[in-house]
Structure 1
C-alpha cells in the first residue's frame, strides 16, 4: 500500500442498543450508564466501543498499533451516528515495514467532537 503523510480515511456507524448491551456482555463492563436507560430512554455507548470505529480503519490499512491515546470529550448514546476521520501524520519506511503515526477525530451527527486521539504503530510490507 502506498501510504503517505496527509492521507485521510473516514468511517461512520450508528450505535444501537443491542451493540451496547453485547459489548457490555463481551467486556464485562456492566456500568449502570451502559445498561440502564437515561431520562431520554438512551444507553451510553462505552468509550472503547466508540473508539472501535478507528480500529476498523486501522484494520483496513493492516495497521498494528503500538500505542493509542484517547481523550473522551462527550458521551455517545444509543441512536447516535459517529464518524471517525483518521489522518496519517507521519510515515517512515523501515526494512520490511512502515512506521506510521496518525490522529483521529470522532464527530457525532451534530458535528460535535466526542473523541480525539493519536496512535503510533506499523504496517508490514
Structure 2
C-alpha cells in the first residue's frame, strides 16, 4: 500500500501521521484589541483567553493548508490564562485525493507546556493546492 503525500507551501510534505505545530502567546495588546472588536470589556483585561482566541492557533494551521472544515468536535479541560504560551497541533489521520481536492482529517490538540488543555478532531477538504 503506497503512502499518499501532499506538498504544502508552508509546511512542506504532509502525510498521514504528520503533526503540524504552531505556538502562540498573546500579548495584552492583542487581547485588548480582540475585546474591543468583539464588544467585550477590555478594562480590566480578562484573566483567561476568550474562547475564540484559545482556538485560533488551530484555525491558523488550517488556513496554512487552505482547509475547509466539514466537521469539528472539541473538548476543553480548562481555561487558558492570558499569559500562557499555547501550542496548537494538528495530526493528520487521513489523506484522500478526490476531484481536484484532498479529503483530510486531523486529531487536534492545544497544549500549555506539557498539559493537554483542548482536544478534538476535524475533517474536511484541502482546496487549490
2:33 to 22, 25, 29: 22
Give ranges in structure 1 of 5+ residues lacking alignment.
none
Structure 2: how far apart are the matches of 1:118 and 1:35? Answer: 34
Equivalent residue number for residue 113 of structure 1: 116
Structure 1: how far apart are the matches of 2:73 and 2:33? Answer: 24
Alignment pair present for 1:58 and 2:62: yes
Give ranges in structure 2 of 5+ residues lacking alignment.
1-5, 8-13
Query: How do 1:1-40 residues align onto structure 2 when only pairs under 5 Å count?
Result: 1-2=6-7, 3-28=14-39, 30=40, 36=44
Give the superposition deviation at 1:21: 2.2
Give SS of 1:86's match. strand
Query: How do 1:82-93 residues align onto structure 2 when only pairs under 5 Å count?
Result: 82-93=86-97
Give SS of 2:16's match. coil
TM-score by length of 1: 0.82
Name the structure where strand makes up a greater proportion of residues.
2
Give the superposition deviation at 1:25: 2.2
Equivalent residue number for residue 103 of structure 1: 107
TM-score by length of 2: 0.80
Write out the 4+ residue segments of structure 1 that deviate beyond 4 Å after TM superposition: none
Give SS of 1:93's match. strand
Task: Tell me the C-alpha RMSD between the 2 structures.
Answer: 1.9
Give the superposition deviation at 1:91: 1.0
